[in-house]
């Protein structure tokens, strides 16, 4: 077929005009059709298995849609979603607490709305930056056989008996930022006055190691390379039960640091309704309980009944949730680059 | 007419690189000239050298870059020391057993880098294999072998040793037996013969091996982060951190460029000094290497011992982590990193074969690797001829361009591609991945094939021509059989590079197209189960069977021996 220059120009102009229309149309939540495809970015391993069973199955049954996964850590996912802002290849994106809040600000993902039925049941702290799907607080985890007394405060990390035995968390991820901010807070600083935290953390050096992931930390515990770190309590709980009963998960008087997995709907998704349904199913009782039972992630909704046998291992109820320490993530996100540079030079290495 | 043969042969590969590599490269260059990071800002703004100024004025970056280069040099020296005895052993292996022996270097290459690094951890850990063995003979355990530069160097040497061996093997096995007979008849012992005959003749292979290993080692980051525990910094880790965690693309881009420039400069220096040792390649007069007479008896005594020791070390280094991987695949532990055998289980194999989540990814990886390898070979063969036989103006500049993808950390290509993602997503996903994987393979294929083409015996072609063989006949009957070892090596390396690539691929895979390594990597970011080990063990078994079958059906000796 021959396309004259004029026809070609018309086509281009047409495509150009159609583009905004396309975006407007997609923003309105239309009923899902059979065969629609929902793309979900989530962590691999246990989490993938749980959502496949408790979210994908009912969703596919109801709508006859198809679900595809992009697996990996939040870093890659977030970088990709930022690059695709406005024309996302993801519909639902799982991020951590600070990434999600920043992503809403940056116009990459949507703020939560009651369009998701279970939104009403979310704890207030789980309604920021998207839909919090699991509380997963960070705290001190340590080998209790090496401790002269149980750890009850974040300040106990500065007890000389831990000198040279600490595996400090790498960088400024959820664990790293929790550790640094709690250090600042208990020694009289806060997010705006983080230098106190840095100075106090430097006092803890030399570290036995820097731990880059839960898996790496548990290996260090197994191999007795380190005896204390700051980590998610949830996953450490399953480590304690399956591999190492010597490890204790501290409940400091100052509180554990709030950390959360957040499900986010991308700005510009073409499957708004399906994405909302997906998140609604994630917040439903079967999925929440599967998370709680298998990896000890605490539910973010108040309308479910948790069996007694796992209650003590979770963060449950208004009082417990209120005790979690939340930080000023705006200040943290704004200072991130500066702190990362400081961390690389003064804490790591 | 002849003037145009070189450029014409060089054109396809150049075109491919321009289309699929130069674009992200250019984006990286432009990004590095941004004054501050703005993920949504326009790409083209007034350029600024702020990033470079910051890097140069900050001692921290200087420290990391020099640390990385020293690490790269260390790894290169280790792989050369261990690679020679191994390549020599392979080249002298009776043809019957050579296929089996090749498994020694192919199997490690087929195993995922993450899994291999975990194998090294199981080796070096305080309660790991080395300490358990030394404990038996009463040596107190070395508790702090992990998370040191040494550990990273060992892991990188394990990962890159096969590349060095492949580069050396081609040259070593190409040395005519008559040369050895001549040396022997003149009274050279095997050790002296190796030092005065084999070594000089294998220098071109050493040159390619050195450049490849050095550049790969200085841009690696997976093993460095797993075994260095952040006590070891490499530039690649820094680029990844800035690009992904801090979304600071300009700084990441600037670091990537500095890394590329320093890496290339060092590689050029290595190549230059090795070239100085081979004046005969340029037809300049040269003296044979000689060894002082008083040293000969010492070499004769020490030579066999040292070479056997090094051979044993290299075999152990390559295979022990894999044995541990296989053992771990039957281990009833909740997570892949847990050491110590808890009990026998087949559940990881069940997950691999019956849960089915890996099968799709596995086939995607195989198709992708085969396609990318074939495309890369057909592009680099003409390029190798252009380099070796048809010199033309600007050849060195072009070669530098061809080799750039190797020295540019893959994560930097990822940074560039990230900016181009929206354009990229229009391309069919498979084609897009092939385009990128071919880029990853090309530098290796070109280096290996050029060495092979240079090693061809022109006299045979002239003889065939004088007997009336047409150029086509000469190509298929003389040149191709001569190139078979090189093509074989380049094909294997190409397949494996594509099969194992994670960094760029993880940016570009979509929900419908995920490769096996990206899947394993995705699991490892949360909690890696020994299913990864089970897949690796299955692949190991496949490789052994495939090589054994191939050895029966195809005359493998024709592939290896000229």
B226-236 pLDDT, tens per residue?
A: 788 777 888 88
State whether B525 and A224 contact (CB < 8 Å).
no
**Which tops the pLDDT comparison, B42 or A251?**
A251
Interface of B with A in 208-247 (CB under 8 A): 225-226, 229-231, 233, 241, 243-247
CA distance B118 to chain A (A): 10
Contact partners, residue B219, CB within 8 Å, separation at least 6: B235, B236, B259, B263, B407, B408, B409, B410
What percent of chain B clears pLDDT 70, i.e. is strictly above it?
93
CA angle A203, A204, A208 (to 5 degrees): 145
Q: Please say whether the beta carbons of B52 and B254 come within 8 A.
A: yes
Q: Quickly state the pLDDT bin for B306 (edges 50, 70, 90).
A: very high
Touching check for B347 and chain A: CB below 8 Å? no
Report pLDDT digits (tens) over B153-195.
Answer: 999 999 899 989 988 987 888 788 888 899 889 888 888 888 8
Residue B410 in contact with residue B497, Cβ under 8 Å?
no
* Nearest partner of A299 among A133, A175, A94, judged by Cα: A133
Whether B562 and B174 have beta carbons less than 8 Å apart is answered as yes
Size of interface A-B (CB pairs under 8 A): 155
- Tell me the C-alpha distance between A316 and A302, whole Å: 8
Each residue of A108-165: pLDDT tens digit? 999 999 999 999 999 998 999 999 999 999 999 999 999 999 999 999 999 999 999 9
Q: Judge: B241–A73 Cβ closer than 8 Å, yes or no.
A: no
Q: Is A235 on the interface with B (CB under 8 A)?
A: yes
Q: At what angle do helices B59-92 and B249-276 cross, to 10 degrees?
A: 50
Mean per-residue pLDDT over chain B, rounded: 84
**B390, B9 contact by CB (below 8 A):** yes
Nearest-angstrom CA–CA distance, B478 and B500: 34
Please tell me which residue, B313 or B247, carries the higher pLDDT value. B313
* Span B421-474, pLDDT tens digits: 767 767 787 888 898 899 989 988 888 788 888 888 888 889 999 998 888 999
pLDDT of residue B230: 73
Q: Which residues of chain B neighbour A222 with C-beta distances below 8 Å?
A: 127, 337-340
Provide the pLDDT confidence category of residue B551 given band limits of 50, 70 and 90: low
Query: Is residue B333 within 8 angstroms of chain A, CB to CB?
Result: yes
Top-confidence range, B111-115, B131-135, B405-409: B131-135
Conformational region of residue A86, where left means phi above 0, alpha means psi within -120 to 50, and beta covers everything else: left
Tell me: pLDDT of B505 over 90.
Answer: no
Query: Which of B147, B246, B337 is closest, CB to CB, to A218?
Result: B337
Under the banding of pLDDT at 50, 70 and 90, the label for residue B557 is: very low
Q: How far apart are CA B162 and CA B106, in angstroms?
A: 7
Distance from C-alpha of A8 to C-alpha of A18, rounded to nearest angstrom: 15
Chain A partners within 8 Å of B246 (Cβ)? 336-337, 340
Which residues lie closer than 8 Å to A25 by C-beta, 6 or more apart?
none
Cβ atoms < 10 Å from Cβ of A311: 11
B531/chain A closest Cα distance in angstroms: 10
> Do B522 and A71 count as a contact with CB atoms less than 8 A apart?
yes
CB contact under 8 A, B231 and A210: yes
pLDDT at position A7 over 60: no
Q: Domains in chain A, start-ordered, CATH in brackets?
A: 26-135+259-315 (3.40.190.10), 138-257+328-347 (3.40.190.10)
Chain B residues lying within 8 Å of A84, measured CB to CB = 421-422, 425
The pLDDT confidence band at residue A13, using thresholds 50, 70 and 90, is very low
What residue of B is the nearest CA neighbor of A44? B523
Contact B121 A219 (CB under 8 A): yes
Instruction: Kindly report, residue by residue over B198-224, the tens digit of the pLDDT.
Output: 888 888 889 888 988 998 888 887 788
pLDDT interval class at B196 (50, 70, 90): confident
Q: Considering CB atoms only, which of B121, B230, B244 is closest to A75?
A: B244
- Residues of chain B in contact with residue A171, where contact means CB-CB under 8 angstroms, are 241, 245
Smallest Cβ distance to A79: which of B147, B247, B509? B247
Q: Regarding predicted confidence, which is higher, B547 or B81?
A: B81
Reported confidence tier of residue B373, pLDDT bands at 50, 70, 90: very high
For residue A136, the SS3 value is coil
HEC-encoded secondary structure of A9-30: HHHHHHHHHHHHHHHHHHHCCC
Judge contact between B430 and B8, C-beta under 8 A. no
- Of B93 and A284, the structure prediction assigns the larger pLDDT to A284
Residue B303 C-alpha, separation from nearest chain A C-alpha, in angstroms = 39
pLDDT in tens, A161-211: 999 999 999 888 889 999 999 999 999 999 999 999 999 999 999 998 888
Helix (H, G, I), strand (E, B) or coil at B59: helix
| Inter-CA distances, B189 with B89, B107, B186, B299, B415, Å | 17, 34, 9, 9, 54
Mean pLDDT of chain A: 88
Q: Are the beta carbons of B331 and B342 closer than 8 angstroms?
A: yes
Residues whose CB is less than 8 angstroms from the CB of residue A21 and which lie 6 or more positions away in sequence, other chains included: none
Over range B497-515, report the average pLDDT.
Answer: 78
pLDDT confidence bin for B122, thresholds 50/70/90? confident
Q: How far is CA A213 from the centre of its chain?
A: 14
Q: Please tell me the distance from the alpha carbon of residue A126 to that of residue B334, in angstroms, as a whole number.
A: 30
Closest to A208 in 3D by CA, of A197, A195, A219, A200: A219
What's the confidence (pLDDT) of residue A14? 44
Looking at this predicted complex, what is its ipTM? 0.78
CA of A260 vs chain B CAs: smallest distance (Å): 15
Res. B336: pLDDT tops 80 = no
**Contact between chains at B244 and A243 (C-beta distance less than 8 A):** no
Task: Using a CB–CB cutoff of 8 Å, tell me whether B358 touches chain A.
Answer: no
For chain B positions 30-59, those within 8 Å of chain A (CB to CB) are 37, 39-40
pLDDT higher than 80, residue B96: no
Bridge partners of residue B513, in order along the sequence: B510
**How far does the CA of residue B18 sit from the closest CA of chain A (Å)?**
23
Distance CA A239, CA A217 (A): 11
Average pLDDT over every residue of B323-332: 87
Q: Which residues of B360-379 are buried (b: 16+ CB within 10 A; e: fewer)?
A: ebbebbeebbebbbebbbeb
The C-alpha atoms of residue B78 and residue A238 are separated, in whole angstroms, by 41
> What is the helix (H) or strand (E) element at residue A131, kind and residue range?
strand A131-135
The full set of domains in chain B, from first to last, is: 2-281+303-560 (1.10.3720.10)
* Alpha-carbon gap: A209 to the closest alpha carbon of chain B (Å): 7
- Look at residue B526 in the predicted model and tell me its pLDDT: 60
The shortest CB-CB distance from B421 to any of A37, A83, A173 is to A83
Give residue B337's pLDDT band: very low, low, confident or very high (50, 70, 90): low
Give the per-residue pLDDT at A19.
Answer: 41
Judge: A70–B244 Cβ closer than 8 Å, yes or no.
Answer: no
Instruction: Report the alpha-carbon distance of residue B127 to residue B266 in Å, rounded.
Output: 38
- Yes or no, beta carbons of B230 and A212 under 8 Å apart: yes
Q: How many CA atoms lie within 13 A of B283 on its CB side?
A: 0
Question: Is the peptide bond between A206 and the residue preceding it cis, with omega within 30 degrees of 0?
Answer: yes
Per-residue confidence (pLDDT) for residue B102, from 0 to 100: 78
Between B534 and B412, the higher pLDDT residue: B534
CB of A47 within 8 Å of a chain B CB? The answer is: yes
| Residues B158, B116 contacting (CB under 8 angstroms) | yes
Kindly state the DSSP code that residue B16 receives in the 8-state scheme.
H
Q: Which of A52, A75, A83 to mutate to test the interface with B (most CBs of B within 10 A)?
A: A83
| pLDDT > 90? residue B148 | no
pTM for this prediction: 0.82
Residue range B251-267: mean pLDDT, rounded: 87
């Amino acid at each position: 077929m021959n396309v004259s220059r004029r026809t070609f120009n018309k086509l281009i102009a047409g495509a150009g005009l159609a583009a905004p229309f396309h975006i407007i149309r997609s923003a309105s939540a239309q009923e899902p059709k059979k065969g629609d495809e929902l793309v979900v970015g989530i962590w691999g391993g246990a989490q993938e298995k749980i959502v496949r069973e408790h979210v994908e199955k009912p969703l596919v049954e109801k709508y006859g849609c198809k679900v595809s996964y992009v697996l990996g850590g939040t870093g890659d996912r977030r970088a990709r979603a930022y690059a695709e802002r406005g024309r996302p290849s993801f519909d639902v994106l799982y991020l951590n607490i600070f990434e999600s809040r920043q992503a809403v600000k940056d116009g990459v993902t949507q703020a939560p709305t009651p369009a998701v039925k279970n939104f009403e049941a979310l704890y207030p702290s789980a309604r920021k930056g998207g839909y919090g799907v699991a509380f997963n607080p960070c705290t001190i985890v340590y080998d209790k056989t090496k401790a002269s007394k149980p750890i009850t405060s974040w300040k106990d990390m500065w007890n000389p008996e831990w000198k040279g035995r600490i595996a400090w968390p790498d960088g400024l991820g959820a664990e790293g930022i929790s550790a640094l901010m709690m250090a600042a807070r208990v020694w009289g600083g806060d997010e705006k006055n983080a230098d106190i935290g840095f100075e106090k953390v430097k006092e803890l050096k030399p570290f036995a190691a820097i731990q880059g992931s839960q898996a790496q930390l548990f290996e260090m515990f197994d191999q007795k390379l380190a005896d204390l770190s700051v980590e998610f309590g949830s996953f450490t709980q399953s480590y304690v039960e399956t591999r190492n009963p010597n490890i204790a998960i501290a409940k400091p008087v100052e509180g554990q640091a709030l950390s959360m997995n957040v499900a986010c709907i991308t700005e510009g998704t073409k499957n708004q309704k399906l994405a909302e349904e997906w998140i609604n199913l994630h917040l439903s009782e079967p999925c929440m309980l599967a998370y709680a039972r298998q990896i000890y992630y605490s539910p973010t909704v108040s309308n479910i009944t948790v069996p007694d046998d796992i209650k003590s291992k979770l963060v449950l109820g208004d009082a417990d949730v209120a005790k979690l320490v939340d930080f000023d993530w705006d200040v943290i996100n704004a200072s991130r680059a500066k702190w990362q540079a400081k961390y690389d030079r003064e804490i790591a290495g | 007419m002849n003037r145009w043969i070189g450029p014409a042969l060089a054109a396809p590969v150049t075109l491919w690189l321009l289309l699929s590599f130069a674009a992200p490269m250019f984006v990286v260059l432009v990004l590095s000239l941004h004054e501050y990071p703005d993920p949504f800002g326009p790409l083209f703004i007034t350029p600024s050298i702020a990033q470079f100024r910051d890097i140069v004025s900050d001692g921290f970056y200087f420290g990391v870059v020099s640390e990385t280069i020293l690490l790269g040099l260390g790894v290169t020296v280790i792989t050369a020391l261990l690679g020679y005895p191994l390549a020599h052993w392979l080249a002298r292996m009776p043809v019957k057993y050579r296929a089996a022996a090749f498994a020694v270097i192919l199997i490690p290459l087929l195993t995922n880098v993450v899994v291999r690094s975990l194998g090294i951890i199981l080796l070096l850990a305080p309660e790991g294999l080395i300490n358990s063995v030394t404990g038996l003979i009463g040596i107190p355990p070395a508790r702090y072998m992990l998370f040191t530069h040494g550990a990273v160097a060992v892991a990188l040497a394990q990962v890159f040793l096969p590349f060095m061996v492949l580069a050396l093997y081609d040259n070593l096995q190409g040395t005519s037996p008559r040369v050895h007979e001549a040396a022997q008849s003149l009274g050279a012992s095997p050790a002296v013969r190796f030092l005065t005959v084999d070594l000089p003749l294998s220098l071109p292979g050493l040159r390619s091996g050195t450049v490849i290993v050095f550049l790969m080692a200085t841009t690696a980051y997976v093993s460095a982060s797993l075994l260095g525990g952040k006590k070891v910094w490499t530039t690649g880790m820094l680029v990844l951190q800035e690009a992904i965690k801090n979304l600071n693309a300009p700084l990441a881009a600037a670091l990537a460029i500095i890394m590329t420039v320093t890496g290339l400069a060092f590689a050029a220096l290595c190549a230059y000094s090795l070239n100085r040792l081979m004046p005969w390649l340029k037809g300049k007069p040269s003296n044979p290497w000689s060894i002082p007479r008083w040293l000969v008896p010492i070499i004769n005594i020490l030579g066999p011992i040292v070479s056997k020791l090094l051979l044993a070390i290299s075999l152990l280094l390559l295979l022990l982590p894999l044995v541990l991987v296989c053992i771990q695949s039957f281990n009833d532990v909740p997570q892949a990193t847990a050491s110590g055998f808890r009990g026998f289980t087949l559940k990881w194999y069940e997950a691999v074969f019956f849960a089915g989540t890996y099968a799709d990814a596995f086939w995607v990886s195989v198709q992708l690797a085969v396609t990318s390898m074939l495309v890369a070979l057909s592009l680099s063969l003409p390029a190798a001829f252009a380099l070796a036989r048809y010199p033309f103006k600007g050849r060195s500049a072009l070669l530098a361009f061809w080799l750039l993808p190797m020295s540019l950390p893959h994560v930097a290509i990822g940074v560039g591609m990230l900016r181009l993602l929206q354009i990229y997503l229009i391309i069919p996903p498979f084609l897009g991945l092939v385009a990128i994987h071919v880029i990853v393979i090309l530098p290796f294929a070109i280096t290996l094939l050029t060495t092979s083409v240079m090693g061809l015996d022109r006299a045979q072609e002239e003889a065939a021509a004088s007997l009336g063989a047409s150029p086509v006949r000469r190509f298929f009957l003389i040149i191709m059989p001569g190139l078979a070892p090189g093509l074989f090596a380049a094909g294997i390396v190409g397949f494996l590079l594509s099969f194992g690539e994670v960094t760029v691929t993880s940016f570009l895979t979509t929900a419908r197209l995920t490769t096996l390594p990206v899947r394993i990597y995705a699991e490892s970011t949360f909690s890696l189960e020994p299913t990864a080990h089970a897949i690796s063990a299955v692949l190991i078994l496949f490789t052994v069977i495939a090589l054994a079958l191939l050895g029966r059906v195809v005359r493998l000796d024709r592939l290896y021996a000229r």
